[in-house]
Amino acid sequence: MKKILKFEAEWCGQCKALAPILKKVLENHTDITLTTVDIEIEEDTTLKYNIRNLPTLVFTKDGVEIGRTSGVLTANILEDKIKEFYA
């Protein structure tokens, strides 16, 4: 199972900027599930993944982390990362 965890916070401007890019790119990848994690609400998950920057995307396959990115990505870079991590 392919899953992307998006770590964000309500006050994070970059998180808001990444949201529509991520939504658009994932329209072409219906086999990937997106889970949004609010770092202020889900502190245990945030600590488990040692999140230090926002936004952070953690790419997992069958529950195992296979890669991560931080910051706002362009649609092309996000597409490249998906291909790289889920090849």
12 is catalytic: yes
The active-site residue out of 9, 12, 21, 26 is: 12
Q: CA triplet 71, 50, 19: central angle to 5 degrees?
A: 30
The active-site residue out of 15, 25, 73, 82 is: 15
15 is catalytic: yes
Are 46 and 37 within 8 A, CB to CB? Answer: yes
DSSP string of 52-84, one letter each residue: -SSSEEEEEETTEEEEEEES---HHHHHHHHHH
Quickly tell me which residue has 């995307």 as its tokens.
57
Active site residues: 12, 15
